[in-house]
């Protein structure tokens, strides 16, 4: 068994509400151990074995059955998250926002280039395998990129993003357990 984190796309946004206790119960029902959540935005930590794609499919089916809406899930190991946080794809200055966008798989080289080409003076994108580092020169609400820009390259329901500050706190909590 190894520590995994499931990042659920667009949970507790609009009408897509899911109490964290439900997420824990669903994961426990799948046989995962030591299940807990972190902040109220669809981050589920658990111990499990198995391939990432298998875990994602099982979680997506179970969450949709339980919650009544599509719940695209992106799973990473604690070690993978530590590597994401150790990466320094660009300088991050005071006032910048650094986000990591999770993908199901590393995009094809042409799609990775298309994603990185979305960069502009405010937004910088760097593809690193199945993760995209995204630096904004200010607040994320001021970004010039939209979900539609990402979907033109990757298709719908293909990403879930988390702020590096939150990911740092999450990994620290995992490491402290």
Segment holding 127, helix H or strand E: strand 123-128
Cα separation, 65 vs 63, whole angstroms: 5
Q: What angle do CA 69, 112, 123 make, to 5 degrees?
A: 80
Do the beta carbons of residue 42 and residue 75 sit within 8 Å? no
Is residue 48's pLDDT more than 80?
A: yes
Q: Which helix (H) or strand (E) holds 4?
A: strand 2-8
Please give the CATH topology (third level) of the domain spanning 2-79. Answer: Alpha-Beta Plaits (3.30.70)
Distance (Å, rounded) from C-alpha 41 to C-alpha 16?
Answer: 11
Residues 6 or more apart in contact with residue 1 via CB below 8 angstroms: 33, 47, 48, 49
Angle at alpha carbon of residue 171, lines to 166 and 173, rounded to 5°: 95
Q: Give the residue extent of every domain in the chain.
A: 2-79, 81-176
Q: Is it true that 2-79 and 81-176 share their CATH fold?
A: yes
pTM of full prediction above 0.85: yes
pLDDT, one tens digit per residue, over 91-147 is 999 999 999 999 999 999 999 999 999 999 999 999 999 999 999 999 999 999 999
In this structure, whether the domain defined by 81-176 belongs to CATH 3.40.50 is answered with no
- Give CA–CA dist 171/173, Å, rounded: 5
């Amino acid at each position: 068994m190894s520590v995994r984190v499931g990042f659920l796309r667009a949970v507790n946004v609009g009408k897509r509400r899911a109490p964290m206790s439900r997420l824990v119960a669903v994961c426990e029902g799948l046989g995962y151990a030591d299940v807990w959540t972190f902040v109220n935005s669809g981050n589920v930590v658990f111990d499990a074995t198995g391939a990432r794609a298998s875990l994602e499919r099982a979680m997506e089916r179970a969450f949709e059955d339980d919650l009544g809406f599509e719940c695209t899930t992106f799973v990473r190991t604690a070690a993978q998250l530590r590597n994401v946080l150790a990466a320094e794809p660009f300088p991050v200055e005071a006032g910048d926002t650094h986000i990591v966008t999770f993908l199901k798989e590393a995009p094809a080289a042409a799609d990775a280039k298309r994603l990185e080409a979305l960069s502009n003076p405010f937004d910088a994108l760097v593809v690193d395998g199945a993760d995209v580092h995204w630096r904004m020169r200010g607040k994320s609400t001021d970004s010039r990129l939209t979900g539609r820009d990402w979907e033109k390259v990757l298709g719908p329901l293909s990403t879930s993003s988390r702020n590096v500050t939150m990911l740092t706190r999450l990994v620290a909590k995992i490491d402290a357990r």
